Amino acid sequence: MPHPRRRGPARAHQGAAVIELLTIFVLAVFVGFEVVSKVSTILHTPLMSGANAIHGVILVGAILITGRADGGAVLALGLAAVFLATVNVVGGFVVTDRMLEMFKGHKR
């Protein structure tokens, strides 16, 4: 890792990479919002199911990264990622279950 006060091509390249990643992130947020907002009401349950599957993959990735953590900061961030991804997956299944309960008929 270069010294923080050194300037040069490597430091300029890092700044360009950060700007590039932020640009991709912002574009992904806008595209994701537009795609999800245009989904018809009838497709929201399958969309939630697909999102839960993606969150499961994110959880597995967080577990793998945390398992290979070398330092304390990486381990702490990895554990936080595992915890938040677990909350996200469980919450997604709870919300999906509640949505499906609305479609069941009431027993009389």
CB-side neighbour CA atoms (13 Å) of 74:
9
Does residue 29 sit in the same domain as residue 49? no
Does residue 73 sit in the same domain as residue 88? yes
**CA angle, residues 76, 80, 83, in degrees to nearest 5:** 140
Structure tokens at 15: 């700044």
pLDDT at 106 over 90: no
Give residue-wise pLDDT tens across range 18-68.
Answer: 899 899 989 999 998 898 888 887 777 777 778 888 888 989 988 998 998
Tell me the C-alpha distance between 101 and 108, whole Å: 16
The SS3 assignment for 48 reads helix
Q: Are 52 and 90 in contact (CB under 8 A)?
A: no
Does residue 5 sit in the same domain as residue 18? yes
Does residue 2 sit in the same domain as residue 31? yes
Does residue 61 sit in the same domain as residue 31? no
Does residue 20 sit in the same domain as residue 57? no
Does residue 28 sit in the same domain as residue 53? no
- Model pTM? 0.57
In the structure, how many helices (H) and strands (E) does the chain have? 3, 0
Does residue 34 sit in the same domain as residue 49? no
Q: What's the total number of domains in the chain? A: 2
Does residue 33 sit in the same domain as residue 7? yes
Does residue 67 sit in the same domain as residue 24? no
Task: Give the domain extent around 33.
Answer: 1-38
pLDDT at 88 over 60: yes
Band of residue 97 on the pLDDT scale cut at 50, 70, 90 = confident
